[in-house]
Amino acid sequence: MIRILILQPEVTAEQRLKSLFESNGFAVAVVGNPDNLADADLTDVGALVADAAAVEGPLAAGTLQDLAIPFVLLAQQPTVQAAVAALKRGASDYLAAPYEDASLLAAVTTLTREETTDPLAGSLLMIGESASMQTLFNSISKIAPTDSTVLIRGETGTGKELVARALHAASSRRRAPMIALNCATIPGNLIEAELFGHGGSVTEQNSRVNRHGLLEAANGGTLFLDEIGELPLPAQARLLKVLQQDATPASADSAATDVRLITASHRDLEKMITNEQFREDLYYRLNVVSLAVPPLRERDNDVRLLAEAILQKTLQRLSKPVRKFSTEALKAMRAYPWPGNVRELENAIERAVILSEATELTSELLAIDTNPVPTVEQSTPQPDLTMEDYFVSFVTARQDQLTETELAERLGISRKSLWERRQRLNIPRKKTRNRRPRRNVS
Ligand SMILES: Nc1ncnc2c1ncn2[C@@H]1O[C@H](COP(=O)(O)OP(=O)(O)OP(=O)(O)O)[C@@H](O)[C@H]1O
Ligand SMILES: [Mg+2]
């Protein structure tokens, strides 16, 4: 069995990582600080997962490299400089908090897997037997080995980042890093610096690392830009320039040329082009190959497969006794439209597990609304209903009954992103709300 060595001084974090890897079929060894690395038993260790801050000093950095084991750094306080420095020091991946467990597992699985010729290996972490998911896996296996630029489309929480990781994992670049940047979580004025570095002349040798951005850090590997629709126009222009330079041989300024670019968006980019919010020329550069991740409600019985798998992992992670879904909960899950897709399903199950006192998980515990909002139901068949229209009707129909936290949970998004979307879509939060006091507090 492949072993993962965890280097994490903080005990709670160490335990969390340990149970994450153990519940996914790895054996785990732990060391609390870098000084103990030299004495650790490295038999069968396939990868080291270390807290970035714990290995920042030059001594620790040297020890890491001497081990000759691929390592992944987890950064609680990530910075671009540290990411670039880490990758230059040989880190295979640098994951910035808050990262998804699935991203960490995908990174480690890629590193520890034996050389494989199975083009579908990268999709192994994704659950899906429905026809729509099988079509997606099939496309992934065909596209992954090429160097083509890929645009991943799909609603929020459908697994776009997992698809990007699967593409990277099944490509010849898999031993090089995949760097992921979510354009929606970085302030507009900082995105350019993150991506392209801090300018300055190429001949200035000092503070090299400071000047270089993620594009260079991803050299040889894959750069994944999530929520590309949120990229501000000046940064769009800059990215376009880099992509165009890339196509021109021997251009002076293209420090990082060997990068495969994968982008993702849940937005209607074509509509954004019409509204002059997204550059058409950039769109054509990004949309060389397009992959659509189907919404959960179009995946037939996958909802159940996913729910069962997520339930088992959640029980293990939270050390809870056996729980199963009631028949009525399974039915409700299948009927519910899951606007927040797989992420919403994960949140619903985690909440139900935490609240449950009996063995059976009911649809009430899952907080699945079995009476969908009429406006949504009526408009669902319209092919041009965008996720944003859905979001607006979902929020306006429920905001009087639910708190912001509850609303965000139902949508499977964070409160911060609920707030951001309210701003963007111009659905201000009502200042005074007369919420009925809850009667059935249990
Ligand atoms: N097919 C799948 N099998 C197992 N887990 C999945 C699958 N699809 C998505 N997930 C899980 O759902 C969560 C959301 O996935 P991910 O972050 O890739 O979605 P996303 O489309 O990038 O979301 P967003 O639009 O919010 O960026 C993750 O925890 C991921 O592990
Ligand atoms: Mg994403």
- Residue ranges and CATH numbers for the domains of the chain are 1-101+108-114 (3.40.50.2300), 122-200+207-294 (3.40.50.300), 297-425 (1.10.8.60)
Q: Say what the pLDDT of residue 114 is.
A: 55
Atom of ligand 1 nearest to the CA of 133: 1
The whole-model pTM stands at 0.67
421 lines ligand 1 (CB under 6 A): no
Nearest to 161 by CA among 76, 100, 215, 74: 100
Atom of ligand 1 nearest to the CA of 164: 18
Atom of ligand 1 nearest to the CA of 102: 31
Distance CA 276, CA 270 (A): 10
> How many Cβ atoms sit within 10 Å of the Cβ of residue 36?
12
Distance of CA 115 to the CA centre of its chain: 25
Q: Say what the pLDDT of residue 159 is.
A: 94
Name, in order, each residue with C-beta under 8 angstroms of 379's C-beta and a sequence gap of 6 or more: 385, 389, 390, 393
Q: Say what the pLDDT of residue 266 is.
A: 95
* Residue 181 token pair: 């940047």
Distance CA 82, CA 84 (A): 5
Q: Say what the pLDDT of residue 216 is.
A: 78
226 lines ligand 1 (CB under 6 A): yes
Q: Say what the pLDDT of residue 212 is.
A: 65
Instruction: Please list the ranges in the chain whose pLDDT falls under 50.
Output: 115-122, 200-210, 249-256, 373-385, 432-442
> What three-state secondary structure class fits 441?
coil
Q: Parallel, antiparallel, or unpaired for β 150-153 and 289-292?
A: parallel
Nearest to 307 by CA among 338, 339, 283: 338
Q: Say what the pLDDT of residue 50 is.
A: 94
How many A from CA of 225 to the centre of ligand 1?
A: 15
Average pLDDT, the chain: 81
For a substitution probing ligand 1, which of 162, 265, 347, 349 has the most ligand atoms within 8 Å of its CB? 162
| 72-109 pLDDT, tens digit each | 999 988 877 787 778 777 788 888 888 888 888 888 88
| 262-318 pLDDT, tens digit each | 999 999 999 999 999 999 999 999 999 999 999 999 999 999 999 999 999 899 888
